[in-house]
Structure 1
Amino acid sequence: MRIGELSERTGASVRSLRYYEQQGLMTSERTPSGQRTFHADAVERVRLIQLLLAAGLSSPRILEMMPCIHSGTTTRAQRRMLEGERLRIEERIAELESARERLSRVIRIARERDEERAPAA
């Protein structure tokens, strides 16, 4: 299938598909005129790439996981990498929660000051 059809079937932009190929996450063949063509299993592969990206993995990390897609099993190193990624995300969530709490305090203080300055009705 051509890149436009793959884009339509997966919801990934043509630009994203080119990026995935550039990163080594997927391959295509070229027609004599130079157009990319993909095998039917590319749809499933793109959906998996999208899932892993949505899970917070970077393209290089996804590339590390590609061998397990073919074998159906993961290595200890791959599992450790995934656990490390989960820890990184958990740490980021904690940072964001802390930032949200600080922002809530700033909003509360701003409201209290505004109420103190408001003319009595």
Structure 2
Amino acid sequence: MRIGELAQRTGASPRALRYYEQQGLLRPARRPSGYREYGEADVRTVHGIRTLLAAGLSSAVIGEMLSGLPLPGERRPGPTCPELLAGLARERARISGEIHELTMARGLLDDILAAAAPGEAITAPRPEPFSARRAPRRR
């Protein structure tokens, strides 16, 4: 199938599909004319990519994890690839950390909004735990 059909079947735009290819997430065959040729496995791969993107994973992390996904019909009883599960657990921990940071930031904004003098609340010294948490994030 060509890129338009894959886009229609997966809900991904042709632009997104080309991006997935640039990132090494999709590897379509090429016709002699240069057109991309996709198969049924690519439909499943795109669904997986979109699911993991929606879960907050970056395309680089997804690229590392795709190799751990079993092909349809190849799922054996028992746990999935240990590397895949470890990667998903790391990403879950990262997202949980970001949620914690955002919750703290929202709480601080709530405190400022509720203050009698918001300008003073903004310029007041902050407790150390808040200041320390603002260290640059790893990506």
Q: What TM-score results when the alignment is normalised by the length of structure 1?
A: 0.80
Q: Higher relative contact order by CA 8 Å / sep ≥ 6: 1 or 2?
A: 1
Larger proportion of helix: 1
How far has the Cα of 1:104 moved from its partner?
1.4
Asked if 1:23 corresponds to 2:30, the answer is: no
Alignment of 1:59-78 (within 5 A): 59-70=59-70, 72=75, 73-75=80-82, 77-78=83-84
How far has the Cα of 1:17 moved from its partner?
0.5
How far has the Cα of 1:106 moved from its partner?
1.9
Q: Distance in 2 between matches of 1:36 and 1:21?
A: 10
Alignment of 1:16-95 (within 5 A): 16-70=16-70, 72=75, 73-75=80-82, 77-95=83-101
Identity %: 47
SS in 2 for 1:84: helix
Question: Highest Rg: 1 or 2?
Answer: 1
How far has the Cα of 1:90 moved from its partner?
0.5
Please report the RMSD computed on the Cα atoms of aligned residues, expressed in angstroms: 1.9
The 10-residue stretch of structure 1 (90-99 or 37-46) with the greater mean CA deviation from structure 2: 37-46
Aligned length: 111
Q: Distance in 2 between matches of 1:17 and 1:8?
A: 11
How far has the Cα of 1:12 moved from its partner?
0.8
Q: Distance in 2 between matches of 1:99 and 1:21?
A: 37
Q: What TM-score results when the alignment is normalised by the length of structure 2?
A: 0.71
Structure 2 regions of 5+ residues with no counterpart? 118-139
